[in-house]
Amino acid sequence: MKLNRQDCIVLDAQDQLAAYREKFSLPESEIYLDGNSLGAMPAHLPARMQQAIAGEWGQGLIRSWNDAGWIDLPQRVAAKVARLIGADADEVMVGDSTSVNLFKALASALRLNQGRKVILTERGNFPTDLYIAQGIAELFDAEIRYVDSDEAAVLAALDEDVAVLMLTHVNYRSGRIYDMKKITALAHAAGALCIWDLAHSAGAVHVDLNAAKADMAVGCGYKYLNGGPGAPAFVFVANRHIEDVRQPLSGWHGHARPFEFVQRYQPAAGISRMQCGTPPLLSMLALDAALDVFDGLDMPQLRAKSQALGDLFIRLVDEKLADFSFGIASPRDKELRGSHVALTHAQGYAIVQALIARGITGDFRMPDILRFGFAPLYVRFVDIYDTVEAIAEIMKNQEWNQDKFLTRKAVT
Helix (H, G, I), strand (E, B) or coil at 25: strand
The reply to whether 365 belongs to the active site is no
Q: How many residues make up the chain in this entry?
A: 412
The reply to whether 358 belongs to the active site is no
Q: Does 174 bind a copy of itself (CB under 8 A)?
A: no
Q: Does 286 bind a copy of itself (CB under 8 A)?
A: yes
Smallest distance from the beta carbon of 297 to a copy of itself, in angstroms? Answer: 21
Is the separation of the CB atoms in 92 and 79 below 8 Å? yes
* Residue in 104, 116, 303, 371 annotated catalytic: 371
Is the separation of the CB atoms in 197 and 166 below 8 Å? yes
Count of CA atoms in the C-beta half-sphere (13 A) of 154: 27
Report the relative pairing of strands 234-237 and 92-94 from DSSP bridges.
antiparallel
Kindly tell me which of 175 and 279 has the beta carbon lying closer to a copy of itself: 279
* Residue in 21, 104, 173, 223 annotated catalytic: 223
Smallest distance from the beta carbon of 275 to a copy of itself, in angstroms? Answer: 10
For residue 344, say whether it is annotated as part of any ligand binding site. no
Residue 125: what are its φ and ψ, rounded to 5°?
Answer: -65, 165
Q: Which of residues 82-111 bind a copy of itself (CB under 8 A)?
A: 96-100, 103
Torsion-angle region of 213 (φ positive above 0: left; ψ -120 to 50: alpha; else: beta): left
Q: Does 49 bind a copy of itself (CB under 8 A)?
A: yes
Count of CA atoms in the C-beta half-sphere (13 A) of 333: 5
The reply to whether 223 belongs to the active site is yes
Q: Does 20 bind a copy of itself (CB under 8 A)?
A: no
Q: Which of residues 21-40 bind a copy of itself (CB under 8 A)?
A: 25, 27, 30, 32, 34, 37-38, 40
Q: Which of 41, 147, 185, 268 binds a copy of itself (CB under 8 A)?
A: 41
248 contact partners, CB below 8 Å, separation of at least 6: 104, 107
The reply to whether 178 belongs to the active site is no
Kindly tell me which of 3 and 274 has the beta carbon lying closer to a copy of itself: 274
Closest C-alpha to 42, from 363, 292, 354, 381: 292
* Residue in 20, 24, 32, 222 annotated catalytic: 222
Letters for 138-167 (x = contact with a copy of itself by CB under 8 A, - = none) are xx------x---------------------
